Amino acid sequence: MATIQGAGTKQNTYDAIVIGSGISGGWAAKELCEKGLKTLVLERGRDVKHGDYPTAFKESWEFEGRTKLPPAEIAKQEKQNRTGYTTHPASAHWFVNDLENPYSEEKRFDWMRGYHVGGRSLLWGRQSYRWSDLDFEANAKDGVAVDWPVRYAEIAPWYDYAERFAGISGSLEQLPHLPDGQFQPPMELNCLEKDVKRRVADAFGGRPLIIGRVANLTQPLNGRGSCQYRNRCIRGCPYGAYFSSNAATLPAAYATGHLTLRPFSIVSQLIYDEARGRAIGVRMIDAETNAVIEYFAKVIFCCASSVASTSILLNSKSARFPNGFGNDSGELGHNLMDHHFKVGASGLSDKFADMYQKGQRANGIYIPRFRNLNQATKQKDYIRGFGYQGSASRSDWSRGIKELNLFGPKFKADLIAPGPWRLGIGAWGECLPYHENRLFLNDKVRDKWGQPTVTFNCDWKENEYAMRKDMKASAVEMLEAAGLKDVTPFDDVSAPGLCIHEMGTARMGRDPKTSILNRWNQVHAAPNVFVTDGACMTSASCVNPSLTYMALTARACDYAVSELKKRNL
Amino acid sequence: MNSHLNRAGGSVERPAITRREAIQRAAIFLGAALSPSLLSGVMRAQSAPAAAGAKPVYLTAQQLETAAALAERILPRTDTPGARDVGVPAFIDLMYGKYLSPEEKKLFAAGLAEVETASAAAHRRAFPQLATAQQDALLTRLAEAARNREGTFFYQLKELTVVGYFTAETVGKTVLHYDPVPGRFDACAPIAEVGNVNWTK
């Protein structure tokens, strides 16, 4: 369609447009609005106001199928169901209908997502760790891909800023490769976790086991309540006790009076003005009416998720950008990453039989990376490293299903009581950025709005598989050293995507010839377009990425506004 | 988080079998020799009018009564409620009608038929009418034959019974530790103080 011209553009013009309302989009909305910009947030899914969490207070017996959905419902979410937990009746409404939102897999890729205001900020695992220079310098030191154009010292103040607002609880540990932050008081380790922590430290030269650093409040913050220890976060928290766009950033953006949020708004393209040599706005499709509408702004933030932001850029072709917006380097869509996981071990303890817990902790333990930190920990089979997440708990009644030969009065009494203590740890490993791991647009498979869909071609390679051997062996070694019994390893290797940490595809870099974004998350060739979600990542680290998106987004917003004031954008 | 600890269960993939095949297979694995005439008698018994009790919506009355009797032996009434007390039979009926896949339904129906066949072969009475010791003996043989395998009738029966029981309102509120908004977390609390029961999930 033709671009709106003249006076008609005025009512569709804002200072800034933000595409997406998840973790990155919510932060962009807050920062830009608080700096006085009239900001339009376009979200492709339905609206969800804070508190609009329909299953938050439901008990198991209030779901007709208790823990199950009917086969006809599961059939709508066959790909989302690959996690094994997403299509539970308590949370299935937060994940997309795969039939209506298809994608293709040259190699299997598990693309888990929710189309609604707040996006995956409602669903995330909330583990929040800083990167360090071990991560930012990794590509340069290893000669892999391209160098990050930033270092920890530049990002650290923005981690401070993001943590203070988001509310991260955690312990101070003084580890150079897992920097401390502005933490609320940590949650507590339980008896067995404390015991294993001491034994692992003794056996492995002080190797730390710490409580997870998690975006759950342990003290009230900005009108949000502290964690009530229900451990039902994935349903949405009525107390606002974990960080989400809905509970935290979007209310802050609304409070300025500068936010306009438009749900059901599927951005299909950025609009590039050839004459002016700049992006002037976006073209979107109303998901309900199919109306095509254009909006204009001085600055555009792409925060739709790694895959979606890059898809929009790939779909934004012009004479200047025939291969996708900002894609002079040819790297757009490439270097797709995720963490590889589902490998580790668990073991039983016969200690603490007289101890249990009160409340349900929405957090676990963390064993920070201990490989390839320095010459002494250098591995010969692989580069980079991994950290473990896990927890100890007394097993519950669900163990009774597998204790197959048992039934009767004693069996029932056993299942009612807390079962044996079990501690399990699973590793999250860094994946290298490979040019050939990519996504691209598929014109042959169109969605219900006639838009091209995404095809994935991505897999793990030698370095990841070599690392996994150590991820399993080190887990067994630690749990056995900690005195656990029946230590059982597992390695359920899964396809990329399942960790829901997809990163890369529009990476930051120093050189426009080999990267899409510069050190401020600006598109090299179009400085008023910023990409601050996972697409910008140049490498993957082994820690959870969302806190870094928050910090990079806030930093990029600050830079964008200062550049606007200087009339540089 | 901790999804890595949720080892995904395998899906039930098992070829559909006819009732006659099921009965014949039951005869083999339970060691009973069924004559053709007994076999046809069992087939007739399967469609006989059911005993009184809860009215099923999806299962036949007899299937429901067999399932209820099995569930009650898995989780019998003691000083805490039994499977029947908390509505496990109705839950199984609902799951059968609306939540199991066609393959899972076939497995379940065939399994119930196997139980009745074995009961008839061993005692010439329907399973629900057997003495509890007889029921337990039959259930033990079923469990041994299942050999801890998913995708067997016994696994399915136990899953439905255990889930149906522990997610029931009566159990959640009166048997387990029901505290939907704890408000605080004590990581190491003596059982003597918090009680020797699991938390309601």
pLDDT tens digit string along B167-180?
999 999 999 999 99
Q: Determine the Cα–Cα distance for residues A312 and A314; give it in Å rounded to an integer.
A: 5
Question: Is residue B126 over pLDDT 60?
Answer: yes
CA distances from A565 to A10, A12, A298, A559 (A): 21, 22, 12, 10
Q: What pLDDT was estimated at residue B21?
A: 43
Q: Determine the Cα–Cα distance for residues A208 and A193; give it in Å rounded to an integer.
A: 12
Is residue A362 a contact partner of residue A216, using CB atoms and an 8 Å limit? yes
Q: H helices within A363-509, ranges in order?
A: 399-402, 409-416, 462-481
Q: What pLDDT was estimated at residue B27?
A: 38
Out of A8-12, A78-82, A289-293, B187-191, which region has the weakest mean confidence (pLDDT)? Answer: A8-12
Considering only CA atoms, which of A410, A57, A66, A63 is closest in space to residue B163?
Answer: A66
Question: Is residue B49 over pLDDT 50?
Answer: no
Q: What is the mean pLDDT of chain B?
A: 80
How many CB atoms neighbour CB B58 within 10 A? Answer: 15
How many CB atoms neighbour CB A225 within 10 A? Answer: 16
Q: What pLDDT was estimated at residue B58?
A: 98
Considering only CA atoms, which of A11, A94, A18, A98 is closest in space to residue A56?
Answer: A94
Question: Is residue B47 over pLDDT 80?
Answer: no
How confident is the model over A409-448, as pLDDT tens digits? 999 999 999 999 999 999 999 999 999 999 999 999 999 9
Within 8 A of A127 by CB-CB distance, chain B residues are 1
Out of A164-173, A403-412, B122-131, which region has the weakest mean confidence (pLDDT)? Answer: A403-412
Q: H helices within A189-305, ranges in order?
A: 191-203, 250-255
Minimal C-alpha gap between B61 and chain A (Å) = 21
Q: What pLDDT was estimated at residue B150?
A: 87
Question: Which of A61, A68, A340 is most worth mutating to test chain B (most B CB atoms within 10 A of its CB)?
Answer: A61
Question: Is residue B23 over pLDDT 70?
Answer: no
Q: What pLDDT was estimated at residue B54?
A: 61
Q: What pLDDT was estimated at residue A405?
A: 84
Q: What is the DSSP letter of B21?
A: H
Q: What is the DSSP letter of A245?
A: I
- A529, containing H or E segment: strand A526-531
Considering only CA atoms, which of A423, A358, A410 is closest in space to residue A188?
Answer: A358
Question: Which has more confidence, B26 or A407?
Answer: A407
Question: Which of A407, A423, A543 is most worth mutating to test chain B (most B CB atoms within 10 A of its CB)?
Answer: A407
Q: Is A308 left (phi over 0), alpha (psi -120 to 50) or beta?
A: alpha
Identify the bridge partners of residue B16 per DSSP, sorted by sequence position.
Answer: none
Question: Is residue B123 over pLDDT 80?
Answer: yes
Q: What pLDDT was estimated at residue A550?
A: 98
Question: Which has more confidence, B194 or B30?
Answer: B194
How confident is the model over A470-493, as pLDDT tens digits? 999 999 999 999 999 999 999 999
Within 8 A of B70 by CB-CB distance, chain A residues are none
Close Cβ partners of A160 (under 8 Å, ≥ 6 residues apart): A181, A182
How confident is the model over A241-280, as pLDDT tens digits? 999 999 999 999 999 999 999 999 999 999 999 999 999 9
Mark yes or no for CB contact B99/A127 under 8 Å.
no
ipTM over 0.85: yes
Q: What pLDDT was estimated at residue A8?
A: 63
Minimal C-alpha gap between A189 and chain B (Å) = 6
Nearest to A229 among B155, B183, B192 (CB): B183
For residue A353, which amino acid is it? Answer: A
- B102, containing H or E segment: helix B102-123
Q: What is the DSSP letter of A191?
A: H
Q: Pairing mode, if any, of strands A259-262 and A39-42?
A: parallel
Identify the bridge partners of residue A421 per DSSP, sorted by sequence position.
Answer: A349, A394
Mark yes or no for CB contact A359/B181 under 8 Å.
no
Question: Which of A397, A406, A479 is most worth mutating to test chain B (most B CB atoms within 10 A of its CB)?
Answer: A397
CA distances from A316 to A298, A313, A530 (A): 17, 5, 15
Q: Determine the Cα–Cα distance for residues A448 and A460; give it in Å rounded to an integer.
A: 32
Confidence of residue A86 (pLDDT cuts 50, 70, 90): confident
Mark yes or no for CB contact B6/A356 under 8 Å.
no
Question: Is residue A291 over pLDDT 60?
Answer: yes
Q: Please report, in angstroms and rounded to a whole number, the separation of the first and last CA atoms in chain B.
A: 16
Percent above pLDDT 90 for chain B = 68
Q: Determine the Cα–Cα distance for residues B14 and A68; give it in Å rounded to an integer.
A: 20
Confidence of residue A5 (pLDDT cuts 50, 70, 90): low
Nearest to A355 among B8, B147, B190 (CB): B190
Q: What is the DSSP letter of A247?
A: I
Is residue A41 a contact partner of residue A29, using CB atoms and an 8 Å limit? yes
Question: Is residue B48 over pLDDT 70?
Answer: no
Cα dihedral A225/A229/A231/A236 (nearest 10): -10
Confidence of residue A6 (pLDDT cuts 50, 70, 90): low
Q: Is A462 exposed, middle or buried (0-12, 13-18, 19+ CB in 10 A)?
A: exposed
Q: What pLDDT was estimated at residue B36?
A: 36
Quick one: tokens of B168? 């029931």
Q: Is the pTM of this model over 0.90?
A: yes
Percent above pLDDT 90 for chain A = 97
Q: Determine the Cα–Cα distance for residues A491 and A501; give it in Å rounded to an integer.
A: 19
Q: Determine the Cα–Cα distance for residues A387 and A474; give it in Å rounded to an integer.
A: 11
* Residue recorded with tokens 């850029």: A313
B/e letters for A85-94, b = 16+ CB within 10 Å, e = fewer, are: ebbbbbbbbb
For residue A248, which amino acid is it? Answer: A
Q: Determine the Cα–Cα distance for residues A464 and A337; give it in Å rounded to an integer.
A: 11
Average pLDDT (A34-38) is 98
Is residue A235 a contact partner of residue A242, using CB atoms and an 8 Å limit? no
Q: What pLDDT was estimated at residue A328?
A: 98
Q: What pLDDT was estimated at residue B43?
A: 36
Q: What pLDDT was estimated at residue A4?
A: 55
Considering only CA atoms, which of A6, A8, A7 is closest in space to residue A293?
Answer: A8
Minimal C-alpha gap between B2 and chain A (Å) = 6
Is residue A483 a contact partner of residue A491, using CB atoms and an 8 Å limit? no
Q: What is the mean pLDDT of chain A?
A: 97
Considering only CA atoms, which of A395, A350, A357, A418 is closest in space to residue B188?
Answer: A357
Confidence of residue B147 (pLDDT cuts 50, 70, 90): confident
Q: What pLDDT was estimated at residue A180?
A: 98
Question: Is residue B29 over pLDDT 80?
Answer: no
Q: What pLDDT was estimated at residue B53?
A: 52
Q: What is the DSSP letter of B50?
A: P
